[in-house]
Amino acid sequence: MTEKRREKKEELKTRLIAAGTELIQEQGLKGLRARDIAERAGSALGGLYTVFDDLDGLVLHVNSRTLKRLETALNAALPSSGDLEETFLNLSLAYLHFALAERNLWSALFEHRMPDGVAVPDWHLAEHAFLIGLIAAPLARQMPDTSADDIAIRARTVFSAVHGVIAISLEGRFVGITPALLEREVAALARLLATGLQKEPSSRPLVS
């Protein structure tokens, strides 16, 4: 491939990812069609398949871009103090605010499924690691005698608790929960999780 063709392919890739991002922002992942993305990007349908193997490949790249934006938002929310409660509170609220502001793109991170028998690429799985790492770091300082494996398990539990409340609320399963009430409850949950962990003996094994 010549340099000029490579540049044109990269430029088309950028346009296709931007178009896919816009369409998911507008309508969500459900009903997303390759033809609509190509049209929005100003490309023939066949052009999409010169860049990506299939629609799932494009969605992975849209999700990759969303994850980078989420990582930036969460890193910006980290307090300088390193205090566990403040860290959990800031991260939880920043996560909620991102989900509220970019609801369809955020949902696509967890709704997208590869076809049966097709694994999610390792590079994309690795991009999710920061979600656990940002929680694991202050946990490790709070629980210095706990193994890295146990810290990772507890960090996943903390993430799942906060994510679960937000996801269920935004799906409308909690009737009457407004964004303001949801923010209050997420903040309360973050404080409860931090308080409980601060009381737990750091030498106690989390798994036997």
Mean pLDDT of the chain: 92
CA–CA distances in Å: residue 55 to residues 31, 81, 196 = 12, 43, 44
pLDDT given at position 102 = 97
With a cut of 50, say whether residue 125 has pLDDT above it: yes
Average pLDDT over residues 72-96: 96
pLDDT in tens, 136-153: 999 999 999 999 999 999
The DSSP symbol for 206 reads S
Could you tell me the sign of the dihedral formed by the alpha carbons of 17, 23, 29, 35, in that order?
negative
CB atoms within 10 A of CB 24: 24
Domains in the chain, ordered, with CATH? 1-52 (1.10.10.60), 65-199 (1.10.357.10)
pTM: 0.91
119-124: average pLDDT: 95
Torsion-angle region of 172 (φ positive above 0: left; ψ -120 to 50: alpha; else: beta): left
Can you say whether residue 157 is alpha, beta or left, with left for phi > 0 and alpha for psi between -120 and 50 degrees?
alpha
Please check the confidence at residue 83 and state whether its pLDDT lies above 50.
yes
Decide if pLDDT at 16 tops 70.
yes
Report the number of secondary-structure helices (H) and strands (E) in the chain. 10, 0
